[in-house]
Amino acid sequence: MKKSKNLDDLIDALTMLPGVGKKSAQRMAYKILRSNKEKTLNLSRQLQKVLTDVVTCNICGIYLDKEDAEIQQSSSEHLCIGKNRDNSVICITESPADIYIIEENTNYNGDYFALKGTLSPLDGLGPEEIGILRLQNRLEKEDIKELILATSTTIEGEATAHYIQNICHELRIKVSRIAFGIPLNGELGYLDGETISHAFNERKEL
Ligand SMILES: [Zn+2]
């Protein structure tokens, strides 16, 4: 049977999304074709826009629209977190997405720092590549009293936490690690809010 190559290419492209296998991708593609043309074009525009107009904050690493990031860059304060938050505590995550998960599920009231993944020397990801040097710079310049390590409990997540823990010990900064309730090899993105909330509140000093 003659098939549309463009449609097959769209299905292939959709399988890059998390949790989307070939069958789900096919359903999405058929839905896109059946949908109102304006809605589909809007989806396409939004996809392009996040690529061109969304950047990360140069202090904490959360996603910001370009214009807000520029305002942040020219400010002497960290505008991402409100004025009433404790900027002497920094919570370290391995992605901006994990910051949103913690923010939604805990009553944490400090500042954040998102790494770009975890240490993985075999993949060429060292301290500089994942942002640890930038973090170290922050720790040396700002008056930080405590660091909370919220990286995953995977081997790479643990190794990354351990590396940052050593830096904190050298700089005499109190450091704690979330642990309670998070299963080994667990990634924050797959856990329920209650587990994360509990893990966060039961963190222990290292
Ligand atoms: Zn920020």
- pLDDT profile of the chain (206 residues), mean per 10: 94 95 96 93 95 94 94 88 90 95 92 96 92 94 94 88 94 86 76 79 74
Using alpha carbons only, what angle is made at residue 176 by residues 171 and 177, rounded to the nearest 5 degrees? 125
Find the 70 Cα to ligand 1 centroid distance in Å: 11
Find the 101 Cα to ligand 1 centroid distance in Å: 16
Domain that holds residue 168: 85-205
Residues 104 and 201 in one domain: yes
Instruction: List Cβ neighbours of 40 (8 Å cut-off, separation of 6 or more).
Output: 32
pLDDT reported for residue 180: 61
Q: List C-alpha distances in Å: 202 to 40, 94, 159, 205.
A: 45, 20, 21, 10
Q: How many structural domains is the chain composed of?
A: 2
Find the 57 Cα to ligand 1 centroid distance in Å: 5
Residues 41 and 114 in one domain: no
The verdict on residue 70 lying in a domain is no
Q: How many CB atoms lie within 10 A of CB 17?
A: 11
| Contact (Cβ atoms closer than 8 angstroms) between residue 145 and residue 171 | no
What DSSP designation does 183 have? P
Find the 68 Cα to ligand 1 centroid distance in Å: 10
Tell me which residues have their CB within 5 A of the ion that is ligand 1: 57, 59-60, 80
Length of the chain, in residues: 206
